[in-house]
Structure 1
Amino acid sequence: MTDASTSPPKTRTAFWDNARFAAIVLVVFGHAIQRLTYDSDAAEALYLLVYAFHMPLFALVAGFFSSSAEPTRRRMARLFTDLIAPYLIFETLWTITQFLVTGRTNLDPAQPSWTLWFLLALALFRLVLPYLALLRAPVVWALAISIVAGYLPSIDSTFSLSRFLGLLPFFTLGWWLREHDVVARAGLLAARPVWLRAAAATVLVTAAALAFVFVDTWRDVRLGTWFFFVDAYADLDAPQWWAGGVRLAIIALALVLMAAFLVLIPRRETRWTHLGRYTMYVYLLHTFVLYPFRQSGVLRGLEPMGLWIPVVVVASVGIAVALSSRPVRRLTRPLVEPRMPWLFRDRELGAGRGS
């Protein structure tokens, strides 16, 4: 997802916009297919594959484009206008929507609705990065924090704290990769040989096959819930001392799948490259598109299931393209990218300008 609170480079790299757009399609697909998992093992396997790495990928990309420098006035203001304000706006919209649909409401900004947790996590990532960067081996510290957090039942989803801590290693790793110029020095944006692309595809296909073959086992151990980075280990029926090792294995799995996914992303400019700049629109708006289908139950009991899964794939791409289109952006910009000059003493800060 595009984190508007970052300062993008002067020249954009097609690869990263391609990766953002491909990743946001996975987000839409994961949410769209969720209701199908109750009736289809194949859908459950694809759901597990997507959730194993798609949000860690967003955290890594956000970290890659983040700075650990001392915050400027402009960056501090944009943290609010680009993350906190949209969070409050969409949290309010979700409260109204749920009241209209169910007749019940519970406006509690401390408990994010559905996908809005990631905005709070991004804000927290950005706030702590300058401090984390002061330490030796910050990635190791972030990894230790993530693993230890799972042992503490007092850390929950309030203000997205559990997910922020759980995903912190990915965000920190993304920043570290840029800080040490690893991508350029290792030539990771160069053309990839056919054998490497074949190996990456094999990794993803193998992961999907293992998810399908052992789908009942993964359900029994609640693997999908582990991928959320929300619950403490004890709440996942794993109070044992070695539970942190499971999270470590999940983090390692996410890194492998992310690497395979990124190998397959085109390095050149494509017809959909420019849409990667607007993934925040897709992220915040797609749930309103999917909500009627999820609530109505039309996604349950669809037959033949083998036909409907490809339909959901195509629909997910279509939704991502539509929601990142210029007409939708123009209509929803005041919600997704609010500018609030009236809020700040320096009105230029609220307009997205200033230092």
Structure 2
Amino acid sequence: MTKRDAYFDNVKFLLILLVVIGHLIEPLYDDPLLRPLYLFIYSFHIPMFVLVSGYFAKNIGTGDYLNKVISRLVIPYLVFETLYSLFDYWIYDRPELVFSYFTPYWLMWFFFSMILWKVAMPYIIRIRYALPIVVAVALLAGYANDAQYYASVSRTIVFFPFFLLGYYLDKSMISRLHTRGMRIVSTAVLGAAFVMIVLYSQLYRKEWFYGSFSYETLGHNEWSAGIYRIGVYALAVLIGGAVLSLVPRRSIPWVSGMGMNTLYTYLLHGFIVMALTAGGLYEVLDSAASKLLLIVIGIAITVILSLGSIRTWLRWLIEPRARRIFKRHPGRSSREGQTEHG
């Protein structure tokens, strides 16, 4: 078993924390206090989460690659897509129960897209100049009005460059972000970016950061609309790179350990957010202090769901043992291809 990298566990914990906080404050997006924070989070946290996932996808073509995709992604996707559909029907008292496996429910888009990225990667990495090509495809996809939510097509294409970039990253590149000079620059970049977002938040449309909408839907049908997506990419790389530069590389008590369990936090926190929404939480948040309390709630949810005990109790559901559904090849060791779960 390979030794875990505390740096990436720290990064993953920070990113999942931002995911939870972002989902909690989203219903209050129009509030002038929370809008800049929401925009700042969404300017980089999805691309960086995808990038880190790509970094840990370097085992392409080794062992039982497709079997792992099925057991670690496809099965959990089907299970939680079903659970979220059932929970939505119950908690919001919907008139009809709908299962939409090809239109992922809310946060399940990430799993759906991850499946597609993983399946495509063995072929994509054989292409020369793959990264600029997938960037070009992502820019062109914005001109297609039919590439939006169905099958998570738009997000899969738009965020794929970050997955591929993460695949190409190595530790030496990451190390260059941690020089003293880069940390100083990164601090200045984050400060300047946040100030700019605070000052001009009314000019931003959050939908640009979702990767789900065509340029025309976002109010730009001119031929040069792709420039806006280039700007969104540049912002994600600039702010995301600065964040990666400032995350400590050493093991941090509690935090690094909880960073091992981000899969659990991601899949489970949506139920809590939905319950809080249906329970009328946002109707009683009538002051600045009470709205900022959402950040504290987000931290608490992230910490609780990232505990090792949660993983112990729910591993059967989130990381099911699916070996029995696969045929065994004669002469192959039953331990072949086993790796530490990232």
* TM-score, normalisation: structure 2: 0.90
Matches within 5 A, 1:14-53: 14-38=6-30, 40-53=31-44
Question: How far apart are the structure 2 equivalents of 1:99 and 1:216?
Answer: 34
Question: How far apart are the structure 2 equivalents of 1:335 and 1:186?
Answer: 34
- Could you tell me whether the CA contact under 8 Å between 1:29 and 1:312 is conserved in 2? yes
* TM-score, normalisation: structure 1: 0.87
Query: For 1:172-211, what per-residue CA distance to the aligned partner results, in whole angstroms no more than 9, with x for missing partners?
Result: 1111123xxxx32673375x42x54343233223222222
- Could you tell me whether the CA contact under 8 Å between 1:35 and 1:300 is conserved in 2? no
User: Does residue 215 in structure 1 map to residue 201 in structure 2?
Assistant: yes
Question: How far apart are the structure 2 equivalents of 1:309 and 1:174?
Answer: 35
| Stretches of 4+ aligned residues off by more than 6 angstroms | none
Residue number among 254, 263, 267 corresponding to 2:236 in the alignment: 254
**2:106 alignment counterpart:** 114
- In structure 2, the CA distance between the partners of 1:300 and 1:247, relative to structure 1 (3 Å rule), is farther
User: Displacement, 1:341?
Assistant: 3.2
User: Does residue 295 in structure 1 map to residue 278 in structure 2?
Assistant: yes
Question: How far apart are the structure 1 equivalents of 2:314 and 2:208?
Answer: 34
What amino acid is aligned across from residue 110 of structure 2 in structure 1?
F
Question: How far apart are the structure 2 equivalents of 1:211 and 1:185?
Answer: 28
What amino acid is aligned across from residue 305 of structure 2 in structure 1?
L
- Uncovered stretches (5+) of structure 1, i.e. residues with no partner: 1-8
- Could you tell me whether the CA contact under 8 Å between 2:10 and 2:259 is conserved in 1? yes
The size of the alignment, in residue pairs, is: 331
Question: How far apart are the structure 1 equivalents of 2:243 and 2:311?
Answer: 28
Equivalent pairs: percent with the same residue? 30
- In structure 2, the CA distance between the partners of 1:247 and 1:353, relative to structure 1 (3 Å rule), is farther
User: Displacement, 1:116?
Assistant: 0.4
Residue number among 62, 68, 81 corresponding to 1:78 in the alignment: 68
- In structure 2, the CA distance between the partners of 1:31 and 1:189, relative to structure 1 (3 Å rule), is same
Question: How far apart are the structure 2 equivalents of 1:137 and 1:117?
Answer: 27
**2:320 alignment counterpart:** 338
- In structure 2, the CA distance between the partners of 1:136 and 1:89, relative to structure 1 (3 Å rule), is same
Alignment root-mean-square deviation, CA: 2.1
Matches within 5 A, 1:210-289: 210-218=196-204, 223-271=205-253, 272-289=255-272
- In structure 2, the CA distance between the partners of 1:69 and 1:32, relative to structure 1 (3 Å rule), is closer
Question: How far apart are the structure 2 equivalents of 1:141 and 1:234?
Answer: 23
**1:4 alignment counterpart:** none
Question: How far apart are the structure 1 equivalents of 2:257 and 2:6?
Answer: 8
What amino acid is aligned across from residue 272 of structure 2 in structure 1?
V
- Could you tell me whether the CA contact under 8 Å between 1:20 and 1:276 is conserved in 2? yes
- Could you tell me whether the CA contact under 8 Å between 2:17 and 2:299 is conserved in 1? yes
**1:3 alignment counterpart:** none
User: Displacement, 1:123?
Assistant: 1.2
Question: How far apart are the structure 2 equivalents of 1:189 and 1:267?
Answer: 11
What amino acid is aligned across from residue 89 of structure 1 in structure 2?
V
- In structure 2, the CA distance between the partners of 1:273 and 1:82, relative to structure 1 (3 Å rule), is same
- In structure 2, the CA distance between the partners of 1:113 and 1:171, relative to structure 1 (3 Å rule), is same
- Could you tell me whether the CA contact under 8 Å between 1:233 and 1:239 is conserved in 2? yes
**1:5 alignment counterpart:** none
User: Does residue 166 in structure 1 map to residue 158 in structure 2?
Assistant: yes
- Could you tell me whether the CA contact under 8 Å between 1:275 and 1:325 is conserved in 2? yes
